[in-house]
Structure 1
Amino acid sequence: MTRRIVAEVISEEAFAPFGDLVEASGSPDKIINQGQCGRFHDRAKLDFADGQAGISLFNANPRALPCTLEMVERHPDGSQAFIPMTHQPFLVIVAPDDAGLPGVPRAFITKPGQMVNYHRGTWHGVLTPLHSPGLFAVVDRIGSGSNLEEHWFDTPYEVVP
């Protein structure tokens, strides 16, 4: 038996307990590059216990909805930002912490041009593009020691549009 999660359109308010929704919205903080570029400054909180920030490239296989959610993960020593390198939406799954275990997950679908930054220790699903190519830049902690905890659900969830 599976449990069902209905994916909702992501919003800054709904995602705030889990991380930062980043997009170029509103007026730029500053106009730079000879007046040709708007800078939307410092939009995500990067947070690392030790180590340093690194930028990696992830190339994930796209998935379609409905899809099965069997596990979530978290990174206790650092935040993690997923930055799509295409102008396509992707699926974001998060869960509140409930005494060290993930609570009931929520699913969101981004709009093109949005990225997410998971706060340190936030339970989240794996990178889930909905279109090909699934190319993302990922900013996260690079350092020694394990920075990954996984939780496999006894009963999986089905994420539906």
Structure 2
Amino acid sequence: MKLKLFCIACCAITVALYSCGNSEQKPPPSNETAETSPTEPAPTPAASGDAKGVGKFTNVQLTHPLDEKMIAAGQQTYDIKCASCHKTTGEKLVGPGWKGVTDRRTPEWIMNFITNTDEMLNKNAEAQAMLEICMVRMPNQNLKDEDARAILEFMRKTDGKN
């Protein structure tokens, strides 16, 4: 019974993290510990006021190059909490595949969704649209901010970011 609930929760998280649509939003390049790469494209303006989602994350600073320690921690969390519902490819499992999510969503939106799942699904138009398409509500995994940031870094790595 616990395994079933865990699998359902993981699937719902995966669905919530990834958009089933084809939004062309590009996360704004920013920096946590190093300067932003001059070859990075300019950020694409958000299509709506929902680009950052609902939650405390309003300015997520990204590292350039990627932080290998965060990637390893993110992959470990993915393996434990996300892999049962999400693939890192575009293939749908229970939830949508993660391929390209960092191109479709801003870092703030992704982190707000991971850490503030219920409110995002209740108040964010993009999350609600995704829920209508995917038909599975992602459960709140009660991840710490550091875990969510590590998952984001892992997502960036799987999307081929540098």
TM over 0.5: no
Considering fraction of residues, name the structure with more strand.
1
Of structures 1 and 2, the larger Rg is shown by 1
Length-normalised TM-score, structure 2:
0.29
Q: How does the TM-score come out when normalised to structure 1? A: 0.29
Structure number having the greater helix percentage: 2
